[in-house]
Amino acid sequence: MLTEIKASLPQTKENVRFIDYLFKSQRNGFYVNGKSKMTSARHAARYIGRYMARPALAEHKITNYDGEEVTFWYIDHKTEVKVTEAIPAKEFIQRLIDHIPLKGFKMVRHYGLYSRRTKTIAIEILMDCKRFIQKTFEFMKSDSRSLSWRERLVQSFGKDPLTCPNCKEKMFLWRIWHPDYGDIFDLSRDRSFVESKSKQECNKRNSSGRQVKWIPQLLPF
């Protein structure tokens, strides 16, 4: 395996020196724990998550420490058998240090929306979508009833069509007339409005105490 690695790497002094060191220090070769391939992205994420969050040796596997030696156990991946060891504390610490990544070593790289190049833009887009969704739900919650034409105009253009631009008093929509189509809206032709208005005016009294009767005048359009 070292021969293949040496052939594939650039022939620099550092690489040659490192491969030669491995040939001398690992005369019996290497043990490779080649597990099965990941079946799904979820499986890979769980595996990486466990590897990133857990230490090299779980604390519950350390069974004893007498001030000089540390006793611990682990499962041998080659034989699947539980192995118990008792080694000096300094050697135990050295084994743990070997699993600490070098400074600047990338344990996890981010791609897609989480990559550094697109992360800022992606966050801005997601925040805009979040604000839009929140405003939509707030509008739907506050607008549980159907708005009138007047309320829709105020909401869309910010102006009340029934407020006089001069005196700022509230006006009353009585009639809409178009030069091509004639009367589009005429409140005087609404029988229910005329009857309700007549009842209201008939119940009023003038200053002298006499009852005033309101007679609607329908213009012949």
User: Over the stretch 102-133, which tens digit does the pLDDT of each residue have?
Assistant: 888 777 777 777 787 888 888 888 899 999 98
Mean pLDDT of all residues belonging to the chain:
79
pLDDT per residue as tens digits for the range 40-52: 888 888 877 777 7
Residue 71 tokens read as 């006793």
Same domain, 46 and 73: yes
- Contact (CB, 8 A) for 188 and 216: yes
| Whole-structure pTM value | 0.36
Give the model's confidence band at 216: pLDDT under 50 very low, under 70 low, under 90 confident, else very high.
Answer: very low
Terminal Cα distance for the chain, rounded:
102
**Residue 197 in domain:** no
Q: Are 18 and 26 a contacting pair, CB within 8 Å?
A: no
Cβ neighbours for 86, distance < 8 A, ≥ 6 positions apart? 64, 69, 70, 71
Total residue count of the chain as it appears in this document? 221
**Domain for residue 125, yes or no?**
no
Q: Is residue 175 part of a domain?
A: yes
Lowest average pLDDT, out of 30-34, 44-48, 77-81, 136-140, goes to 30-34
- Look at residue 142 and tell me if it is in a domain: no
206-211 long-range contacts, CB within 8 A, separation 24+: none
Does residue 66 share a domain with residue 14? Answer: no
pLDDT of residue 100: 81
Domain membership flag for residue 112:
no
Does residue 136 fall inside a structural domain? no
Structure tokens at 131: 């604000």
Please check the confidence at residue 69 and state whether its pLDDT lies above 80: yes
Domain that holds residue 77: 40-104
Over the stretch 80-103, which tens digit does the pLDDT of each residue have? 899 999 999 999 999 988 888 788
